[in-house]
Amino acid sequence: MALETGSLKLFGLDLSRAWSAFSAGWADAVQWPPLAWLKLDPAVRLLRPDGTVEWRQGASSVPAPAGNDAAPVAVLLPDDIVLCRELLLPDLLPDDLARAAALETELNSPFPQDELAWGMRASIIEGGKRKLRIALASRKHVGAYLESRGIDGGNVEIWAGDGDAGGGPVVLSGYRELRREQLCRRRRLGIIAALGMLAVLLLVLAATPWYIQRARVFDAQARYASLEAAVAAVVADREALLRSSAQLTAIGQHLRTEADALTVLARLTAVLPDKAHLTRLEINGAQVRFAGIASNAAQLVESLGGQDIFSDVRTPTAISRTADGRESFTVELNLRAGGAAQP
């Protein structure tokens, strides 16, 4: 099973230690110069054994500008009442380092457990290992030293081993160090919240033009739909008018090309001799076809070809004689454009 029942292990990984790993990574990250400003360690007023006063940037050896009266106060113990030990360990998580330091302290402390005051400081060395410095002192000795200096032990931090190589003092647990750590944590969370708010504001600022354009598009679509509904009747009338106009145009074109039967009959009557008559007349647009009987059909066809309104005059069938000696004929011709309207 990938997830073990009753535990927080997934594929062999202990999920309960995920936060510890994240915290360790964050603690290492803020040591980098680009992120060092996120440590936000407050200025600490350090009271040294020789009576001098220094200002430090948190629990470090870095000098800091003088703070105000509300700044944390730390007392550096003299070396003769402090025992220091150093361990070289693998790159462990903070919880594992704390357990290793507690075990080392328990095995090597010369002081009773209820009188023991101790602290540790871990630093990374070459090879990815951890150098662990442990400072031990007796609470009775610490109390006596503070009393000799006229210092209230309930209002100060206790530091030791500031003169040793290792990058800074060791802070003994059980005094006022939590106040400074909580202050630093609050400042860090405040800056992270401010940065998060800034990121959200920048995101909103970047997205605002898109939302404005989106709103404009939706508004334009709504206006178009409203306008389309308002002019739907007008558009329908316009389409009907266009259809009617197209029909009228087609009718006019048909009328311009369609021969007037009465006009054609009038022109044929004027051309045909008195002894000729028609037996059939067909008018199909500009094409006219008729059949009849005349004394001289050939002369009749020739006279039709001389008319200005007729063109392409021809006899599709041969001219034949009837029993009374006259000739039967069939003629096809076309009307010239505009000629049918002339009487």
- Is the pLDDT confidence value at 76 over 90? yes
Q: Which residues contact 108 (CB under 8 A, 6 or more apart)?
A: 85, 136
Confidence of residue 129 (pLDDT cuts 50, 70, 90): confident
Residue 82, classed as helix, strand or coil, is coil
Would you state the pLDDT for residue 37?
54
Burial class (CB in 10 A: 0-12, 13-18, 19+), 132: buried
Would you state the pLDDT for residue 68?
80
Confidence of residue 5 (pLDDT cuts 50, 70, 90): very low
DSSP state of 5: T
- Is the pLDDT confidence value at 27 over 60? no
Residue 84 zone, left/alpha/beta (φ > 0; ψ -120 to 50; rest): beta
d(CA 230, CA 235): 10
- Is the pLDDT confidence value at 3 over 50? no
* Architecture of the 261-335 domain: 2-Layer Sandwich (3.30)
- Is the pLDDT confidence value at 38 over 90? no
Q: pLDDT digit string (tens) for 272-298?
A: 887 788 888 888 877 888 888 888 888
DSSP secondary structure string, 111-133? Answer: S-GGGEEEEEEEEE-TTS-EEEE
Structure tokens at 48: 């040294």
